Amino acid sequence: MTDHISEKGEGEHRGLRRLIRDKDGGGWLGYRGLFAFIFFTSTLGMFVYWITYTDITLGTGMFYLTLIPFMVALPLTALLPGKSGITPKTLGILAVLAIVPYSLYDWARVPMNLIFGIPFWDHWFDWGNSILGTTGTGATATGTIFTYEQLTTGLVAHIMRGWGLAMAYYLLVRKVTLLSAFVFSWAMTIVYWVVFPVWILTDALPPWIWFFVAWESHMVFAMGLWVAPKIFQRLYRKPDKMSGLGDGKDSKETSHYKRSRKTTLFGILSSQGFGFMFGSAWFGYVVTSQPPSLYPVFGYGKPPPVLIEGFGPYHWAVVGAVIGVIFLYLTLRSRKASSLAKQKQK
Amino acid sequence: MSNARTKPRYLMSAVIIILLIMLYTGPYAFVYLRTATWTFPRIDERDFNAFEKLETSVSQVANLTGIRNVEGAQEANYLVNVGVFDRKFLDWIGFPLVLEVNDFKFNATGVSQGNVVFECSHIVNAFPRPTGFEPWYIYQPLVDKYDDHTIDVSCRGDASLIDPATQPIPITLNYSISTTLVGDRNYEERSWNNSQSMEIRDVRSL
């Protein structure tokens, strides 16, 4: 496994600068950023629904914040400059790639339902209900939310977000790397961990297994982001077009710099350490900031497998921080060693 | 490229495509299957258990709250406490809910020595319950608060049929309660008809 990053072998700083601002219009402040934002809008519609405590329906949120941006984006694709690295054809390729990560994400949750009873599709009924506009919360004359119609609508909304986020990732990176996929998925995990317990009543006091499932499924999403181009390279007739996720130009530019497997591994482990730190501290805050729940919401309320008396979430956060720092140090050291070896070769 | 070389390549592509289709559809097939075999049956079971365990109660005392002149006759006003208990139940994910009690109708007659002492007729469109949009620290106490909920039903009758000086006055209450109970996926019309002994207490001076 070797990840390709940066470009022209002239250091990451220049690569990062071009990633953000590119005279050809392909940077985050250009078409890449714009289209990534557009594909993020299905999540944006959901945010509005969440943070208004569902006062604004999901249908309304997605009408203004998803449908309208997509209507604008459609003719905008005609203006995409080829130099930017994104063409309508690229978008088509990415659209196919982006199906893999969220499918794997949901696959990762399947055993969690069978083993721990996590009902990961519970909100799909709410979302479907909010989009379809069925009034009433129970089986009243106006209908129950627990129907296949509402499940299907909620499922479609779920897929749109997962697919849209994967599209946003592929658009934001010039080259898919395992590390960037994990960083992106960590951002998704943290947003998930924060939004659900704060704004959604049924998730207000989730047990540890809820946090665990959110983490493991997003990490599988990261693997999906990384593996999807590799799968499709086998199927696509012109593999070189796939390797750069652009017009092929990028792949040449990025092939000079290679991140070692060790650096990638240490980088990912470092992100896991810091993520565990945040997750533990946040879990501690969430469960201690409200009256304890007497109810086994989500799963069977089993305790975590490793319990140490007197060792609370904040202590685990310290452990996470230590792991994060150690692996960050190892990442930086490994990267430096790799650069020195390359200089010697020259 | 020869046929011998292209055949395995197309075969491999076909296998990958089939696997991809299974990859894409698998989790959602699982969700529909689990919904049919686990979610909906679980919801139904919990709904019907909640309907089953719901209880009603009528107080053993009718409080005489006032006597007033109405078109030359003396009308006595009473308050009878009526309640619905054990509304709390867990939904399919283990989250506590309060059973919806809608179109609650209470009709009763208080009978003493063959005379109808008072009559009650009361309708409540919906018993209160949390909306489901409260933060947890507000929601959980509300669930407990509305688990058992009582209302005071106003009843009226001919004051000449009772002697407030005689305390307490034993009577028989014949009542009927009907309501629509609404769960997550099901609803049920429930009714109770009963007769119980009770007494009238004069609380005007309290």
Distance CA A319, CA A277 (A): 7
**pTM for the full predicted model:** 0.84
pLDDT averaged over every residue in chain A: 82
For chain A, the domain total comes to 1
Distance CA A2, CA A259 (A): 6
Residues within 8 A of B (CB atoms), A 175-204 only: 201-202, 204
Residue A273 covered by a domain: no
Place of tokens 């994104």: A86
Tens-level pLDDT at each residue, chain A (346 residues): 334 333 344 455 566 677 777 766 677 777 888 889 999 999 999 999 999 988 899 999 999 999 999 999 888 888 877 777 788 888 888 999 999 999 999 999 999 999 888 999 999 999 999 998 865 555 454 468 899 999 999 999 999 999 999 999 999 988 899 999 999 999 999 999 999 988 888 888 888 888 999 999 999 999 999 999 988 776 665 555 555 554 344 444 444 446 788 889 999 999 999 999 999 999 888 888 888 777 777 765 555 666 677 788 899 999 999 999 999 999 998 877 777 776 666 6
Residue A264 covered by a domain: no
β-pairing, B187-202 with B169-182?
A: antiparallel
CATH number, span B3-202: 2.60.40.2550
Distance CA A64, CA A201 (A): 25
- Residues paired with residue B107 on neighbouring β-strands, in sequence order: B121, B176
Distance CA A85, CA A87 (A): 7
Shortest Cα distance, chain A CAs vs residue B132, angstroms: 7
Give the distance, in angstroms, between the CA of residue B57 and the centroid of all CA atoms in the same chain.
Answer: 13
Residue A184 covered by a domain: yes
- What was the pLDDT predicted at B2? 54
Give every CB contact of residue A111 below 8 A, 6+ residues apart in sequence.
Answer: none
Domain of residue A142 covers 3-259
Q: Closest chain A residue to B188 measured between Cα atoms?
A: A139
Shortest Cα distance, chain A CAs vs residue B69, angstroms: 43
Residue A269 covered by a domain: no
Residue A157 covered by a domain: yes
Give the model confidence (pLDDT) of A145-197 as tens digits: 899 999 999 999 999 999 999 999 999 988 899 999 999 999 999 999 999 98
Instruction: Give the best residue of A114, A121, A198 to mutate against chain B (max B CB count within 10 A).
Output: A121
Give every CB contact of residue A239 below 8 A, 6+ residues apart in sequence.
Answer: A233
Q: Are B119 and B96 in contact (CB under 8 A)?
A: no
Pick A234's closest partner by Cβ from B16, B133, B186: B16
Residues of chain A neighbouring B129 (CB-CB closer than 8 A): none
C-alpha distances in angstroms, B105 versus A27, B125, B153, B190, B191? Answer: 67, 9, 11, 11, 9
Decide if B140 and A293 are in contact by the 8 Å CB cutoff.
yes
Q: Pull the structure tokens for residue A337.
A: 């060693």
Residues of chain B neighbouring A109 (CB-CB closer than 8 A): 27
Decide if B94 and A295 are in contact by the 8 Å CB cutoff.
yes
- What was the pLDDT predicted at A160? 95
Q: Pull the structure tokens for residue A284.
A: 């501690």
Residue A279 covered by a domain: no
Residue A123 covered by a domain: yes
Residue A51 covered by a domain: yes
SS3 percent helix, strand, coil of chain A, rounded to 5, is: 70, 0, 30
- What was the pLDDT predicted at A252? 42
Tens-level pLDDT at each residue, chain B (206 residues): 456 666 777 787 788 888 889 989 999 999 999 999 999 999 999 999 999 999 999 999 999 999 888 888 889 999 999 999 999 999 999 899 999 999 999 999 999 888 899 999 999 999 999 988 888 889 989 999 999 999 999 999 988 888 777 777 889 999 999 999 999 999 999 999 999 999 998 888 76
- What was the pLDDT predicted at A100? 93
- What was the pLDDT predicted at A321? 96
* Three-state DSSP class for residue A130: helix
What is the ipTM metric for this complex? 0.84
Instruction: Give the best residue of A295, A298, A300, A302 to mutate against chain B (max B CB count within 10 A).
Output: A295
Decide if A293 and B134 are in contact by the 8 Å CB cutoff.
no
